[in-house]
Amino acid sequence: MVHDPALLDDLSSMRVEFRLPTFALASMTWQEFAVGTVFLALPQVPLTLGNAVIAVTEENNRLFPNRPVTEEKVAISTGIMNLLGPLIGSVPMCHGAGGMAGHVRFGARTGGALIILGILILVVALFFSSSVETIFRIFPAPILGVILFLTGAQLALGSCDFGKSKNDRFVTLVTAGCAVWNIGLAFGFGVLTYHLLKRGWMKL
């Protein structure tokens, strides 16, 4: 509030307004559907597979080995969320590895933490949807930067093992190098390189 004096006035003007989700599918046009599929959904596929299916499964099984999950279960859960959510105007959702790493880094160890978070989000969505932007301004950018840094550090700890074989290390380096330029191409090159080495069509 020291850096943004107007925030105090905005907070004092917040009102509780109950608002139910709206059925958004009825107002969607075929043009919007096509544009969303080509320019939003398809480019997101490599990132979703990498971060929200493969990485989050590895992260979960490393942090909670007594409660393992599989890529299949995570993919099905993500698919169900994104098939039902847009019907009431939801944004795309996933089980991101970054979110899990951040939760664990700041003390979350059980599913109860996510239940608390879900309740808070529901309260904001149902009663303070017109004031979401003001609520977000409560958290200063430097604090968010620290949270992101520690989350990245937590993810890095789980990525220190580059594999025992030379092939595994090579695939990791190829994928990481390409990811600096384009995540989608990095995913494609990583998968291609892995299968070329596995089938013996490529030798190191």
pLDDT tier for residue 163 given thresholds of 50, 70 and 90: low
- Helices 42-49 + 183-198 axis angle, to 10: 60
Asked whether residue 24 carries a pLDDT value surpassing 80, the answer given is no
Q: Name every residue whose Cβ is closer than 8 Å to that of residue 33 and which is 6 or more positions away in sequence.
A: none
CA distance 203 to 199: 10
CA distance 101 to 156: 10
Question: Which tokens is 49 given?
Answer: 């597979």
Structure confidence by residue, pLDDT tens digits, 63-77: 889 999 999 999 999
Asked whether residue 162 carries a pLDDT value surpassing 60, the answer given is no
Arithmetic mean of pLDDT over the chain? 81
- The average pLDDT across 134-156 equals 78
- DSSP-H helix ranges across 69-160: 71-84, 97-105, 111-127, 132-136, 141-157
pLDDT tier for residue 119 given thresholds of 50, 70 and 90: very high
Q: State the Cα torsion 149-151-157-162 to the nearest 10°.
A: -90
Residues 38, 176 contacting (CB under 8 angstroms): no
**Percentage of residues in the chain having pLDDT higher than 70:** 92
Per the confidence metrics, is the pTM higher than 0.85? no
